[in-house]
Structures are given as structure tokens and as C-alpha cells.
Amino acid sequence: MGKEIIFSAHGICKAFGPTRALIDVDFSIYRGEVHGLIGENGSGKSTFSSIAAGAQSLDSGTFTLKGQPYSPKNMVDAQNHGIGMIVQEQGTIGSISVASNIFTGRMKENSKFGFLSMKQLNEKAQIILNNIGAGDINASLLTSSLNFEDRKIVEIARVMVADPDVLIVDETTTALAMKGRKILYNLIEKFKSENKAVIFISHDLNELIEICDRVTVLRDGRIIDTLEGDNISEDNMRRLMVGRELDGHYFRNDYICSYDDEIVLEAKQITYGPFTNLDLQLHKGEILGITGLSECGMHELGKVLFGIEKTITGSVTIPAKNVEIKNPTIAIKNRIGYLSKDRDRESIILNASIKDNIELPCMDKLKGPLGFISTKSERKLAREQIEVLQIKCRNSEQLLTELSGGNKQKVVFSKWLACDSDVLILDCATRGIDVGVKAAIYRLLEDLKSKGKSVILISEELPEMIGMSDRMLIMQNGKITAEFKRSPELKEEDIIKYMI
Ligand SMILES: Nc1ncnc2c1ncn2[C@@H]1O[C@H](COP(=O)(O)OP(=O)(O)OP(=O)(O)O)[C@@H](O)[C@H]1O
Ligand SMILES: [Mg+2]
């Protein structure tokens, strides 16, 4: 018996003004298949999948779903027809309950005679959460009380409400820690075994090799090729995405742990949320990795070091200047930059332009002798950054809402580069960034280090940690359980046992 196509797209086109996001896209997926969709930042992956999931309209082209013509009116309509999507960007509302988020757009179906029983809604939502293995999340809680990762899990639950036949996962795994990834991978397995289908978008090439049956490559809005079986290799994917061989190394290729003795940031006996009485020293010219499971306290630590959250005991200081980092204003003034894991809520202004976002922390640098900011220097600064990080955009005036996920991440990065930070605290720095630009960011970090700048990398990605750090602190339950120095012998296994 031949394989049955469950969903297909024929000649899909979509433009945003002069930007041609999708050009004549043909795509198909079989029942029982996990089909990867890959491409550089801005290649059209989210545009394609959000059209398929009813979140955007198309300019031309058609879809077929389970043998029938399919043209979704909106996301709920798409779900009712059998296509559900976990979107790339944060998609929950903080001010309502978890259950209300899970049943967004479906309140009417859940009410009787115009009355909605919150109790029943909570119970139903809790069952869905339990079913996907997230029973530890309480459906009646306010969504804003959940952390970044649990909110992403709520989005997974929301998609499961309509029991879709085709699940689209848009760059979700990088927002999830181990617990969430397990939930997602189990779900994908379940879809396969039930003869349903998954369209899986990711920049993690190993993950794609691990879970996909086929992988389709998009470049600049066009389908380039579809890989199958042994042809799904890192080299093939990279070459097809970028359109040329990528040369040079990926992580650092030295194994020297080197930095100055000078301490540029010091935490003494700090206490906040998950951690108590923690000590930490960052040296001039050091790349310091901090890793652990997502709940270990490392994300909160990043916030305290930048002054967003206040420590209950002890202090964070720049010893040479005798300055205490009590809030982000003091941090920025002293050339400390911070990139939050929760980018859209904490690191950027979505309704402002690339230029405005980049210059925000560098106002001082842009001021002329009379204290005015010249438009010329503003533009120049933004243009330089767009070039350095290959930000895909029309020009520096384009709004951040219009950029692809990875390109937004590049803007946050460049805003701290542009203002010449001495210390960068990067929480999940390369989230959603494609392989080519990731390599460019690693080179940039090496370059910053060689100029005597210091970097704190907070991440669960052990290859990145081992590949880039001079020194690594491992955290578990709010405590530093181990410290490793850069070395060619260091393996992931050595680290993992101090994490769990
Ligand atoms: N609302 C919009 N207005 C204008 N341009 C848009 C809009 N949405 C997307 N684009 C543009 O369409 C192109 C494709 O973007 P898309 O988000 O599909 O990329 P992507 O492949 O998902 O990238 P990433 O890996 O960074 O998530 C980009 O050039 C992007 O700037
Ligand atoms: Mg995208």
C-alpha cells in the first residue's frame, strides 16, 4: 500500500509589501510522518506554517487536507479542520488563567445557556495538561505567575484541545528546557504512532536528524530540496540552507582557559528565589558559562546580576569602581548588557523600529557635543549592526513586529554590541538563530573576549557551553555544584551528573 498524503500545499505565494516571503511553495506530508522544515532566519518557515494554521492569509495557491480542499478562515477554523500549531513567539495572555488560555477562542462551546462554568473549564484544562504529562501546572492559576517555559507548555496544551491530525511545531524546542522537550517529543511520537503528522521547524540540526523522516529546505521563500533517510545530514542541511559550503570552525578552536586576574563583576552571598548565599566572580576577558536544568536558578541569577531582581542578602558589585548594581540603570551606565530568555517581554520593544531598539541603551554614545542626538549617527549605528549580524530587513526603520523570530534575536544582541558593553550577560543567546549566524555570533564573542570584554553565557545547551566557555559553573537546586575549566577532555557526561 502506498503512503497517503495527509496535507499538501500547491503554489503558495505570500508577500509583505516588497518582501516576497513565499514564492510558489509546493509541500506535502504523509500520514505517520515527521517532516522537518528548515531554512535560514527569514526564509519563510513561520509564514508558511502560520498560513497553513489559519493565522495569516495567502496571496495565491491552494491547500489540500485529507483529500479535501482546505482554506482556513482563522486559527480556530484550522484547528476544527485538523491543523494545530504551536507558534514561535510567546502566545499566551498573562492576565487570564491557564485554563482560559488553553480554551482561547472556544469559550462559547464551553458555556451552557450563555453561562461559563470556570470550575468545569479548569477541570477540562487540567485533564489536557495531565494528558500531555504537564500535571504539575495548575490550570486555575493566573498565566503570568508561570515561568517562560511553563507558558510554552500551556501553548502545547492549547493545541491539543482540538485533537489535531497535523501538528505544526514552530521553533518550540529552543524555548523549552528538558522537561518541556520531553513532553513535546512524547507528543510527536504519539502523533506518529496514531498515523497523524507533524511539521517540525527547528534550527537544531541534530534534533532534526534525530526525529524527522524527511526534511524540506526553504531559502528566500522558495523550496530548495527535500532530504530523506541518510541524506538528512548536517552538511547537506547546512549547504542547502545557505546555498554554499560553510567553512571555518563553529565553536572556539583553542583549549586555553585564559583571562585577566581583574574581577569585573562580583556577586557575594546573594539570595533570590531559587538560590541562597551564592558567590560568583567574572574576570576581564573571560567567557563564563553557567549551566544546569532550567529550574536550577541560573535564569534568575542572570536577572539579579543585571539588577532587574533585587538580591535579599549580599550584593553584586564592580569591585574596581566600587559600584553596586542595584538596578538595570546602574548596570547599563556601567556598560553591562543583558539578553533575557524571554526576549519579547523583557528585551525588546516590538512596536518600535530596529533603529530605536538598537540605540536605546546607547543614547550617551550617540549624543553630540551639545547633547543632541544626530539622525545621521543613529542611522549609521543601526546600519553597522544590521551588517555585522546580517539582520534580514528592508531598512533600519522597519518595525520589530515584522521581523522573523531569529532576526529579532539578532536585534537584541546588536543593541548591546552597539553600545560597546564591557560585560554581557546572555541568557540563551543563540535561541532561534540559524547555523550560519550562530557561527558568526561565536566569532563575535571570541572577538569581544580578545578585546578584554567579559561574557556570561547562561544556557542548557552543553555543546555551546563546552565549546565557548573559559570556565563553567554547574548549578543544581540553586547551588553551584561544580566548576570546570576549559579543556579538550571535558565531556557532557562529566557535567550532567552535577546537574541532576
Ligand atoms: N508582518 C510582516 N510584515 C512584513 N514582513 C514580514 C511580516 N512577517 C514576516 N515578514 C518577512 O517575511 C520573511 C519571512 O519571515 P518568516 O518569519 O517566515 O521567517 P522564518 O523562516 O520563520 O525565520 P526564523 O528562523 O527567524 O524564525 C522575512 O523577511 C520577514 O521579515
Ligand atoms: Mg520563524
pLDDT digits (tens, 9 = 90+) for 5-18: 999 999 999 999 88
* Alpha carbon distance 199, 215 (integer Å): 9
Q: State the distance from the centre of ligand 2 to the C-alpha of 177, rounded, in angstroms.
A: 19
Domains 5-92+147-242 and 263-499 share a fold: yes
362 lines ligand 1 (CB under 6 A): no
Please work out whether the CB of residue 405 comes within 6 Å of at least one atom of ligand 1: yes
Q: Is 202 in the pocket of ligand 1 (CB under 6 A)?
A: no
Please state, in angstroms and rounded to a whole number, the distance separating the CA atoms of residues 499 and 279.
18
Instruction: Check if 42 has its Cβ closer than 6 Å to any atom of ligand 1.
Output: yes
CATH homologous superfamily for the domain 263-499: P-loop containing nucleotide triphosphate hydrolases (3.40.50.300)
Q: How far apart are CA 452 and CA 375, in angstroms?
A: 31
Find the ligand nearest to 202 CA.
1
pLDDT at 207 over 60: yes
Using only C-alpha atoms, the chain has a radius of gyration, in whole angstroms, of 23
Strand spans (E) along 355-396: none
Within 10 A of 389 (CB to CB), how many other CB atoms are there? 21
Domain range summary for the chain, segments of one domain joined by +? 5-92+147-242, 263-499
User: Which numeric CATH code is attached to 5-92+147-242?
Assistant: 3.40.50.300
The 10s digit of each residue's pLDDT in 59-115 is 999 999 999 999 999 998 999 999 999 988 767 888 999 999 999 877 767 666 666
Rounded CA separation 156/183 (Å): 9
12 lines ligand 1 (CB under 6 A): no
Q: How far is CA 496 from CA 275, 289, 427, 431, 475, in A?
A: 19, 14, 19, 21, 10
Ligand closest to the CA atom of residue 408: 1
pLDDT at position 371 is 58
CA distance 479 to 292: 10
Residue 414 near ligand 1, beta carbon < 6 Å: no
Distance 370 CA to ligand 1 centre (A): 40
Q: Distance, CA 19 to ligand 1 centroid (Å)?
A: 9
Q: Is 175 in the pocket of ligand 1 (CB under 6 A)?
A: no
Give the model's confidence band at 500: pLDDT under 50 very low, under 70 low, under 90 confident, else very high. Answer: confident
Q: Whose CA is nearest to atom 8 of ligand 1?
A: 402
Q: Is 46 in the pocket of ligand 1 (CB under 6 A)?
A: yes
Across 90-94, 151-155, 447-451, 487-491, least confident range: 90-94
- In this structure, which residues have their CB less than 5 angstroms from ion ligand 2? 46, 88, 404-405
Give the model confidence (pLDDT) of 138-197 as tens digits. 999 999 999 888 999 999 999 999 899 999 999 988 878 888 899 999 999 999 999 999
Q: Which ligand is nearest to the CA of 438?
A: 1
Three-state helix/strand/coil letters over 178-209: HHHHHHHHHHHHHHHHCCCEEEEECCCHHHHH
Residue 337 pLDDT level (bands cut at 50, 70, 90): very high
Assigned C-alpha cell, 11? 503554489
